Structure formats: structure tokens, C-alpha cells
Structure 1
């Protein structure tokens, strides 16, 4: 690909070789002018234009705690170090434009939270059942710190994994696998809840509802571990359970899928009845099923979540049990068995009005194989998803963003996520916007270095909701007051008590206009407040 100026110089030189001096001068001049305005085939801009960014987009990251993948960096760290590590990750993600944290709080029938019927996780304190000392509640701490940064926090649950290995010392004497051994089967070197047992479904639902009731979370999140991934062709040892609880099924595969469906429906109903603002989302394997095996499947040829894991995501979407689907499309464009673009398009066609967030494999970004050698693979995946009207992206995992592997965090921070965004609304949960704030005042500091805004909290909306937070917009002189353009968002807060804000990013002789909107818990946004206009002389 040739740059424009060398081409212009080449043509200029050729024309100057002509015999007729007056003709060559005119032609040389016009060749340079024309070439400066047109793009030639194959010419790549050295600095491509920045992306047009959506105001509404979920931008998430998974923070994995199992075997200390992301946090804490080692089991048994002192509490102060645990807190510092989490804050550092949240700060990195805030700078990168992330607005949603998916925190793993129950990796294996254990807990990263205090108000639990299950024992403390050994991945937190180094010893199963041992609480942090000095005591703190990691989930409460994470929620508070995420909300300070205008990030949602979704509690990530592994519903069926009961142990990560078969070492007896890694579970407490009162661990559920010891109290109710008949609820479990062993497969792939782990103990797993048996989804076909009704008491198991009741127990897992109770665990989830403890979290929903006791913590100020924004969502409950399940990952892709339902029935276990195949282990060398070994059969799942649940034949006796199938005989005992057939539920009218004769086919074991359909029976297993129904067992998972019963749990998803039960948890969905429980969450809806308890707190209308808590979202329920699931992150299945990237392929639902392959078209060669199912007429509704995708043009792919990989492992099937429907067939091997018994996870029927289409039923969850079509029944309206979940609010978002987050398939782990951990494949590059053009993959021979699971092309990224094919799977994104397929999930987009089957989301059934619920949100689709793409799961991106940040951990694979440094791999030396087809597709991943292109270090723009994930940024280009985000761009493609946006063109397909996907509502967001979630990255696995936290440390790969924090460590800026192959410059991915830079791509988000300085381009793809350079402006703030709000999570997309969910009108099936709440479609009523809050009332706008009022009485906006603005005052320039005596030293002309800042402007402080004050406003009044709005009254309750017609559904009884109070403002959950606020969005502050600033427009410079000559800029249209466009609240749909995220470049004008100055600040977002999830603190309803914060009714003032100081803008330190001003300059002398600047001309500014401000408005403030309120948002409710599900991020519905009000009309703007009254406008304040100031000139800093």
C-alpha cells in the first residue's frame, strides 16, 4: 500500500519530464491538488478515524477468583493487600471505560461473601471455611467500590461445581458435599451437583436468593458450566437419578436439558419476585448447536452447548427467563469450525428481544495461531458486534485487561471506549423514566479554575422509584445540546445523595452550558434539568 505523497511526487516528476513547460506546470499543480483530496485503491490512512461510539453499551469484564486467576493474586493474602489489589483492578477498568464488573463469588459451593450458607472459599483465605481477619465482607466491599466508579456489579455464580478437585482437605466438615453426599456425582476429577435431583435445584435457588436478598448487587450471572464438559467420552453417572426422577422423559438428553431449564426458571421467578432491578444473565458456550445436528443451529462444527452441556439457551430466551445472554465467542473471524462473525449473527437473530453481550477471549490475544496473530482481532470483533446491533461486550479475564496485553486496554481506553457509556435499559423490567433534577445552579470559582454545579433531587417517579444517580453533560460554545452523544457526558454517579459536582476541566475564556439528568436503578434516564450557561473570563 503506497502513501499518497510519494505517488504525487512520482506523477509530478513524470509530468515535469514533458517537453512543453507551460503544460507540465499546470498538470503538475493539478495532480498534487487532486491527489490530496482523493483516496486511491489500496491506500490505508495512517491514522484511521475514531469510531462512532454508542451512548448505551454494556462494557464488562470477568474477575475470576477460582484458583486465584484474577483476584486475589494468591490465597491467604492479608486483607489490606486483597483490598488494594481489587481497587487497582477496578481503577484500571474504570480508566478503560468498563461499566460492569462480573465478580466470581461462588467458585465451588463456597463463598466470597459473609452472608452465606456455604463456607468461606479457600481461594480467599487459604483455608476452607476460614473467614478473613480482620473481618470484612469481600462482596460488600466490591459492590461499594464498583458503585463509587459508576460500575454495575453482577455476582457470578457457578451453579453446579461443588469442588475443584477430590482432595478432602480442601472442603470443610460441614461442606454440602459431606452433608448431602447423595446429591453429587464425580466426573472429570470434581464433585458436581446432580441437576436431576429436585432438592439440588431447591438448594441452589436458595443460595442465589440469599445473595439477591442480602446484597445490593445489580445482577446474577451464571457461566457455561452446567452439565460437565465431556471427559474423554466417559458417561455422566446419573442413570439412577434418571430412573428415579424421569419427569415424563424417555430420552436422557432431553431430561438433562429439562433439569437445567427447571433451575433457570425457578431462579428467574425468585429474582423477579424479590427485586425487580436485579438482572439475570447467563454466559453459555459460544455454539448453541450446529446446523448439521439441529435445524435451528449455526453454520459451525464445534462443541455444542445444547448437545454436550445440556444448556438450552434458546428456551431460556424464548421463555423470557433471562435478561441477557452472553455467549463466549472465543474464536477469531473466519475460524474453520466456529467463525466469530457467523456466531455473532446467529445469536443476534435468536436473542428474542433480550440483550446480547459478546464474550471476548482477551486471554487468547497473544496466541501465535491463525486469527490471533492479528493483534487487532478483539477491537475488530467489538466493531463488528456494534454494526450488528449487539448491546455490549464482556472480556475474559480481568488481568488481561489490567495488564494491557497486546495494547487491548489502550484500544478500549483511547478509542473504542473513550467516552463514558450507560448500560442499555431493559424495558421488560422497568420502562418508566425517573423525574428530572431541578434547580440547577452553577458558580465559577474565584480563581477561574473550576465550575461547581448544585441541583435538587427529583421527586419519586410514577412507579415510586427515586433517582439512583445522575448524568452530567457539558457543552462548549457552538456545540449542539445533544444528549444522545456520549462525548458530552462529563460525569456519571450512582450516588443519589450526590447533588453537586465540580468541573475542573475548564479554561479561561471558555463558554459552557450544563444540564443534569437523573437515572434510576435500571439506568432509565430522565429529561434534562434546567440549563446553566457560563462564560469564564
Structure 2
């Protein structure tokens, strides 16, 4: 056989095998799918400073609508960019990224966090409140409000590269940051608390962080400053974790650190990388330890490198984290902002780069989902990324992974499910006696009795013509998630003429799912 013909046949066979494998791949029932919505410098929302509340709300609803179409089931929204607030607070002033001037309230007044939270829950999405713990000013030009913490407690701050940063070595700083977080946990119905990668600042060559006096005052028994710095950050993480679990143990606590914990050169337990600022050695954040001892519920390392990167290969970093998850949840942070953007990111112009990263994440044990930075980058659809999510990877909805260490009382199934056809769609109504987070609506096509195999007909006869127990293992039949205060839903999905079976399940705050309600059948006529 001619060599070129043989190569062609082999290639065709390989492509056919790949297509078959993709066709046979079962959609995931459980997966964390989220985007970061950054407010600092108006990266994602609001579109600019000083927009009216009506326009801000319209923008945010559009963002959520688009990500609902993208298949996202969670949003991570920055509510405290720089010791300020995108919510009503007696501790910190309104953020300048809302009105253009720090401390200036909305006019007409509204609470952005409460609004965003409610809108996310309406769409079946978890809302994780993202705090930047240590940044006090965003840049050297920042004009802070008279009641800003840098004015009230100037001794708590260190100036580094033109920015004011909380001094992590001062115990009162840890107490204050914890109080800010807990103020939100106590007053808002958030699903999670989220910290980003800024702990001790990213180092600048030949400019050491000037905390000599703090070390002299608070070093205690420490003889190594690096260990002391890591202890300071550890204490903050442990304190926030303990405080959340004491008040609302169902609220998740997650961290999104720099993608590499340690390079192999820093110790045999590090990854085979040569990253420039590992969390452990450069930012003094022992992120691996926080997973190991259970202070956090999930970790989202920012693996913003392409596959094959010589300093930090995406696959290498991902697999290292998967081997160091310690039974906590691990999601991968994906650098959507690099896709088809800067010409220097040559590999990111390859339209297959992000799909390969998603496929690797799904194929790697202990990786339970992905988070994209950031919202605007996904919505701009670089290299058809958004189209790929909608038409392939996130085509079907997914429930969030369950955190087994957060126990809830067992849920009873919803009952008294009624369905009927209306002019606007199929209307469902049910009852339930327990507090739940969401209800999940499933829809199945009812097989005609005469088209059903004989053994199934016999089984139905034994059950007095009741349909078989519905298969809830696949998300293909999920129609919607409904927030737990609602016990009614209208299925407006275009249907073909025929009989449909509906069941409803309940989800608690940790996404544990109840058994299904008794099925209800409707004959749909269009």
C-alpha cells in the first residue's frame, strides 16, 4: 500500500475512534463550573465607575444570563477589592469601583451584594463572596475615604511598591480581617467565602518586604522569618475557617492560590516546575497544608500555563495538585484571559489549547471542576471558547459536587407533585416540609406501552402500570434548578407531542440530593 494512503487511513481511523469515544462519553452529573467576576479596576463588573444602580443591575443580570447559558453553576464575585465594600458595611466604605469615589453610596440606594446574591440563586447558581484579604489600596493614586481603615489604624499598614498592605504579622490585623469576613457571613446568605492569591505581596527584585520591626516585636520563639511569615498567614486562614464553621458550617471556604506551591528545587515534595513565585517560598502561603489539615473546603490553583510550558507545564501542575488534594475538593483555575489575546502567548492562539486543558482536568482523578478567569474573557468568546462550553463541554447542566465532611440531615423527597399543561408551558407544583437549597426538575419521555419490550410491560403490570424508577444518574433529563423558597415551576421548553414524566428532587446546602418525588405524567399537545 502506498505510504501516503496508509497514513491517510490511519488518520481517518484515529479520528473515527476519537469521535466515537467522544460520543460515548457520559455527561457529568456533578462538576463545579464557575467564573471569577472581578470588580477591582472594573475588570468584569460594573462596566465602569459611576453607573446608575439600574444600569449596574442590568449589566449583572446579563452576565448571569450568559453564564447560565454557558452551563455555569457558581459565580465567584469580588465583594472586597481593597479594604472596601460592594455591600452595606459599618466596617469599610463603599468601593470606588461602584460610584467612582470611595465611601460614596449608591443613588438611589441599593445593596449590590444582596441583589447579586438573589439573582444568582434565581438561576440555580451558588454565590461565593470573594475577598482580597490584605490589599488596602489598589495603587499609589488611590484616594481613600476618611473612615478607611488606613486612616483609622495607620500603624497596621506597610507601603510596598506604592500600595498600602495590611501587615500580616500584627495579630490585630488578623482579627480585623476575620471580623470583616464574618460580618458578611453573618448578614448575607452566601454559599462560600473565597480568598485569592494575594497574601504576602509578590516579591520585587532587590526590594524586600519591610517588616523587620514587626518581626522583632512579634517573632516569639521563631528564629526563621520565613517560618514566622507562614505562621502569620496560617493563623488567618485557621481563624477564618474556625469562625465560619462555628456560625454557619454549611458555608464553604475556598482559596485560589498561585498555581505552584513549591518547585522541586525547594524540596522533594514540590512539583517538577520552575515557577517564579511559588506560594510557599515567595508568598508565605502554605496552601497544601491548608488542604491537608482541613482548614479549607476547596482549592482552585491558578494553573495559568499552557500545556508543555517549560517552566510550569499545565499537565504537570494539575497532576501534582491532584496527588495532594487530601480528600478536599480541587478545582482548576483556567486562564481564559490568555486565549487568543497577547501575541506573546503563542500557544494560547491554538484553538485546541483550552479544550485540551478542560479534557485533562476531567480525566484527572480528584479534580472536580474548573473556574475561568475571568467572566469577560469567557463572554468575549475567544477561539469560540464560549461556543464550546455551550455546545459540548457544558451542554448539559451539572449539580455541584458534595462535600462529605459537611453533614446535613437526610432530605425527604418532595411530595404531591402535580403537573398540567397551560398556554405558557407545563406547570408543576409540589410540596415539601424541610428547608432545602434547591429543587431539581427532571423530565423524561414516557414510552408508549405497545412500544415497550415485553419484560418491561410485565414489570409495569406488576406495579399497577406505574412507570419504572427514573434514572437520575445522568444530567440529560434535568430541566431546571429552582431556589428552595419556590415550590412551583413552568417548563417552557419546546416539546414534541407526546407523554412526559416529571419528578422533582430536593438539594440541601451541600448539594446532597433526596430521592425523587412520585412521578407525574402530562400529555403534551403543541
TM-score (norm 2): 0.90
Deviation per CA, 1:413-433: give whole Å up to 9, x if none: 111001111111111112544
Deviation per CA, 1:253-281: give whole Å up to 9, x if none: 11101100000000000000111211000
- 1:260 matched to 2:233? The reply is yes
- 1:472 matched to 2:441? The reply is yes
- 1:97 matched to 2:71? The reply is yes
Q: 2:387 aligns with which of 401, 407, 410?
A: 410
Deviation per CA, 1:192-246: give whole Å up to 9, x if none: 0000000000000000000000111110000000000011231000011111001
Q: Mind listing any 5+ residue stretches in structure 2 that lack a counterpart?
A: 448-467
* 2-structure distance, mates of 1:496, 1:138: 21
* 1-structure distance, mates of 2:195, 2:11: 48
Specify whether residues 521 and 43 from structure 1 end up closer, same or farther in structure 2 by C-alpha distance, changes over 3 A only.
closer
- 1:484 matched to 2:473? The reply is yes
Aligned positions, number:
497
* 1-structure distance, mates of 2:190, 2:499: 40
Is the Cα–Cα contact under 8 Å of residues 432 and 524 in structure 1 kept in the other structure?
no
Is the Cα–Cα contact under 8 Å of residues 115 and 214 in structure 1 kept in the other structure?
no
Describe the SS at the equivalent of 1:101.
strand
* 2-structure distance, mates of 1:307, 1:90: 37
Describe the SS at the equivalent of 1:391.
strand
Deviation per CA, 1:397-423: give whole Å up to 9, x if none: 111112212211111111100111111
Partner of residue 454, structure 2: none
Describe the SS at the equivalent of 2:348.
coil
Deviation of 1:166 after TM superposition, in Å, equals 2.7
Partner of residue 385, structure 1: 361
Partner of residue 24, structure 1: none
Deviation of 1:155 after TM superposition, in Å, equals 0.5
Is the Cα–Cα contact under 8 Å of residues 242 and 252 in structure 1 kept in the other structure?
yes
Q: 2:335 aligns with which of 361, 365, 375?
A: 361
* 1-structure distance, mates of 2:192, 2:57: 22
* 2-structure distance, mates of 1:266, 1:184: 20
Which runs of structure 2 are paired with 1:273-422 in the superposition (5 Å)?
A: 273-303=246-276, 304-367=278-341, 368=343, 369-389=345-365, 390-422=367-399
Partner of residue 61, structure 1: 35
- 1:224 matched to 2:197? The reply is yes
Deviation of 1:47 after TM superposition, in Å, equals 6.6
Which runs of structure 2 are paired with 1:206-221 in the superposition (5 Å)?
A: 206-221=179-194
Partner of residue 523, structure 1: 511
Is the Cα–Cα contact under 8 Å of residues 408 and 508 in structure 2 kept in the other structure?
no
Deviation of 1:293 after TM superposition, in Å, equals 1.1
* 1-structure distance, mates of 2:469, 2:71: 24
Deviates more, 1:417-426 or 1:493-502: 493-502
Deviation of 1:294 after TM superposition, in Å, equals 1.4
Specify whether residues 40 and 452 from structure 1 end up closer, same or farther in structure 2 by C-alpha distance, changes over 3 A only.
same
* 2-structure distance, mates of 1:358, 1:144: 26
Partner of residue 178, structure 1: 151
Specify whether residues 294 and 482 from structure 1 end up closer, same or farther in structure 2 by C-alpha distance, changes over 3 A only.
same
Describe the SS at the equivalent of 1:384.
helix
Deviation per CA, 1:156-193: give whole Å up to 9, x if none: 0000000012336x101221111111111111221100
Give the number of the structure whose alpha-carbon radius of gyration is greater: 1
* 2-structure distance, mates of 1:140, 1:496: 16
* 1-structure distance, mates of 2:98, 2:68: 24
Describe the SS at the equivalent of 1:67.
helix
Describe the SS at the equivalent of 2:470.
coil
Describe the SS at the equivalent of 1:471.
strand
Partner of residue 246, structure 1: 219
Deviation per CA, 1:290-318: give whole Å up to 9, x if none: 11111110010112111000010111111
Specify whether residues 339 and 126 from structure 1 end up closer, same or farther in structure 2 by C-alpha distance, changes over 3 A only.
same
Is the Cα–Cα contact under 8 Å of residues 473 and 516 in structure 1 kept in the other structure?
yes
Specify whether residues 46 and 246 from structure 1 end up closer, same or farther in structure 2 by C-alpha distance, changes over 3 A only.
closer
Specify whether residues 43 and 455 from structure 1 end up closer, same or farther in structure 2 by C-alpha distance, changes over 3 A only.
closer
Specify whether residues 507 and 331 from structure 1 end up closer, same or farther in structure 2 by C-alpha distance, changes over 3 A only.
same
Partner of residue 32, structure 1: none
- 1:111 matched to 2:85? The reply is yes
Deviation of 1:125 after TM superposition, in Å, equals 0.5
Q: Mind listing any 5+ residue stretches in structure 1 that lack a counterpart?
A: 12-34, 461-465
- 1:442 matched to 2:419? The reply is yes
* 2-structure distance, mates of 1:73, 1:277: 32
Partner of residue 169, structure 2: 196
Specify whether residues 47 and 386 from structure 1 end up closer, same or farther in structure 2 by C-alpha distance, changes over 3 A only.
closer
Partner of residue 430, structure 2: 455
* 2-structure distance, mates of 1:229, 1:409: 32
Partner of residue 25, structure 1: none
Deviation of 1:371 after TM superposition, in Å, equals 2.5
* 2-structure distance, mates of 1:124, 1:277: 30
* 1-structure distance, mates of 2:149, 2:514: 47
Deviates more, 1:527-536 or 1:355-364: 527-536
Deviation per CA, 1:68-107: give whole Å up to 9, x if none: 1111111111111111111111111111011111110111
